[in-house]
Amino acid sequence: MSALVLDGKALAAQTEAEMLERVEQLKAGSGGKTPILATILVGDDPASATYVKMKGNACRRVGMESVAVEMPSSTTTDELLARIDELNQNPDVHGILLQHPVPAQIDERACFDAIDLSKDVDGVTCLGFGRMAMGEPAYGCATPQGIMRTLEAYDIDIEGKHAVVVGRSPILGKPMAMMLLAKNATVTICHSRTQNLPDLVAQADILVGAVGKPEFIRAQWIKDGAVVVDAGYHPGGVGDIELAPLVNRVAAYTPVPGGVGPMTINTLILQTVQSGEKSLG
């Protein structure tokens, strides 16, 4: 069988067209105001700068505005907290993104948690995670939320399936597991210290690779007919899962690149539009 390709790039382009219409409606009803995403980049990490630029470009494609806040690598936690507080207080800013990682001297968790819940469009606060896990309204972490939107768009059945998430990071593995659980999957969370990992991966009807190591999850571990989601991206264009041998064995898979990545940025923009609609609409 030939697997269904869960094409995040195509899905993101399709939903950008829908978002453009929503932003135009907002502008018409609010005297020309648009949702605004503030991006905070601390330091001079080139990869982070590229990601921030991509997010600004995505804002422009849907007719939104973005504000780029750039701070030096010598920034202290207090200086960053003060800047976040300014953005929290600014009624024209509807979403705040603090680009990860920040320089080592900064308390990143304290800065994430300083973001107002109503502007936490990247889903990084403890309060947002707790509300999401309890089934209360909150913006989900952008990557797992993007994965859930992809599965839904391609009519992947989740209810009653065994989902295995390999990775337990606070902004990917853990919220991914909670979101799948909320859709009535039976969820197993694995990590670097899991014993008999191949045996657990072999049970997965839905597999999410989020371990952060190139092709760490081997193709022979994965059963025929599984749905495979690769949330990793590494030099050479490979993810966390050995995908090449799977394309004629599994039911569906996300390509790397072009699968999870575009839907992460797309979800961040969508959640900023939703925040803008609440504020301006």
β partners of residue 69: 40
55 Cβ contact partners less than 8 Å away, ≥ 6 residues apart: 37, 39, 66, 97, 265, 268, 269
Task: Say if residues 204 and 163 touch (Cβ distance below 8 Å).
Answer: yes
Task: Name the catalytic one among 7, 55, 120, 274.
Answer: 55
123 Cβ contact partners less than 8 Å away, ≥ 6 residues apart: 129, 132, 138, 139, 140, 141, 142, 145, 171, 175, 271
Question: Residue 55 catalytic?
Answer: yes
Task: Name the catalytic one among 7, 119, 120, 122.
Answer: 122
Helices (H) and strands (E) in the chain, counts: 9, 9
Supply the DSSP symbol for 128: H
214 Cβ contact partners less than 8 Å away, ≥ 6 residues apart: 232, 234, 235, 236, 238, 239, 240
H/E run at residue 66: strand 65-71
Question: Residue 44 catalytic?
Answer: no
Task: Name the catalytic one among 99, 145, 271, 274.
Answer: 99
* Enzyme catalytic residues: 55, 99, 122
